[in-house]
Amino acid sequence: MAGEFGTQFMPQMTISNYDNGWGEMQTVDADKICLHPGAHVFHYASTCFEGLKAFLHKDGSVKIFRMDKNIERLRQSSELLYLPPLDLELTQNMITSIVGQYKKEVPAAPASMYIRPTHIGTEAAIGKAAAPSDTSLLYILLSPVGDYFSGGEASLRILLDDIGVRCGPDHGMVKGGGNYASALKHCMRAHKEHNAHQVLFCPDGDIQETGAANFVLIDGDTIITKPLDDSFLHGVTRESVLTLSKSRGMSVEERNFGVEELLERCAKPGTEAGLAGTAAVLAAVTTFIYKGKEYQVGSGEPGPQIREIRGALNAIQWGEAEDTHSWLHTV
């Protein structure tokens, strides 16, 4: 795909407004929305969103991957931000309608159509710093995308940060703009000072997630990741990776672990580390940076386990393997 990831958009989107109830779905031009400058979202960050993908299969059908999980997470984020309650059926219809409209524009694998449902507070009320927006807007953007990491397989450098935090510890499970904004200064500093691609937040030494993806560690036939709590995003790709790992006979440990254990395991041959997310799928981490020192992960090259798990997930998404988990929704 031409251009950077997520910079191209389909000409139209679906929208619905909430004002004492959800209005009918409309299909409108995707290059603008009309909001009052005092809209709640601009001042108090009442915004959340999702990221999911539609895939073109060789038989010409288009499948959306795990739409139900993403809609449920958007509902949860909306609830935690005290936005008006999401209508799940309406949201699904808005997604399938606009994807169906651009069915012929969904690119062939390994590219896909990225889907961005977004829910924002629209009430013009700059006095509501400690109160929610009573009105809102839900819209669905589409963006055809290729690989998130240019050049194919990722080989990421990650800074371990045991001082900074991505967001409030009781707010991490919200997929909201405010969380990404608060992580940005740490990410920019890591890139400038350490040539790092991302920051893995480890407050008080506790391994959590990066600014944009969940983290997994693979040691032999064991995959280790932090258990779900309020401090970080409950990733749909993370869950999919763990499910596929179990089906491959791997042992899955969802438990807390720290920087010391991470670096100790990474020194062992065969250890692999990865970032799981919709955009990147499962990307290999080959170097950690901690307190000015670099630590190689395993061989220092992307390993076979992450490559194979990513391949198994892609095979389901692209229609090259049976969808035994009922993850795909036909448009």
Q: What is the pLDDT of residues 157-198, one digit of tens each?
A: 999 999 999 999 899 999 999 999 999 999 999 999 999 999
CA dist., res. 165 & res. 175, Å (int):
15
pLDDT of 4 reads 84
User: What's the distance, CA 28 to chain centroid?
Assistant: 26
Average pLDDT (222-237) is: 96
Mean pLDDT across the chain, nearest whole number? 95
Taking residue 97's Cβ as centre, other Cβ atoms within 10 Å add up to 14
221, 250 contact by CB (below 8 A): yes
For residue 49, what pLDDT is reported? Answer: 98
How many other CB atoms are found less than 10 A from the CB of residue 178? 17
Q: How confident is the model at residue 212 (pLDDT cuts 50, 70, 90)?
A: confident
Q: What was the pLDDT predicted at 149? A: 66
Q: What is the pLDDT of residue 81?
A: 98
Q: Which parts of the chain fold into alpha helices (H)?
A: 40-44, 67-80, 88-101, 177-194, 236-247, 259-266, 304-317
Q: What is the mean pLDDT of residues 215-228?
A: 97
Report the alpha-carbon distance of residue 320 to residue 103 in Å, rounded.
Answer: 19
Give the residue extent of every domain in the chain.
Answer: 12-145, 156-317
Tell me the pLDDT tens digit for each residue of 272-301. Answer: 999 999 988 999 999 999 999 999 999 999
Q: Which CATH number is 156-317 given?
A: 3.20.10.10
Give the per-residue pLDDT at 146: 87
Tell me the pLDDT band of 106, cut-offs 50, 70 and 90. very high
Mean pLDDT over 44-62 rounds to: 98
Tens digit of pLDDT for each residue in 125-167? 999 999 999 999 999 999 999 877 654 568 999 999 999 999 9
pLDDT (0 to 100) of residue 152: 54
Residue with tokens 């869950």: 239
> 330: which strand partners?
63
CATH number attached to the domain at 12-145: 3.30.470.10
- Measuring CA to CA, which residue among 279, 273, 289 is closest to residue 190? 289
Statement: residue 77 has pLDDT above 70: yes
pLDDT level of residue 2 (50, 70, 90 thresholds): low
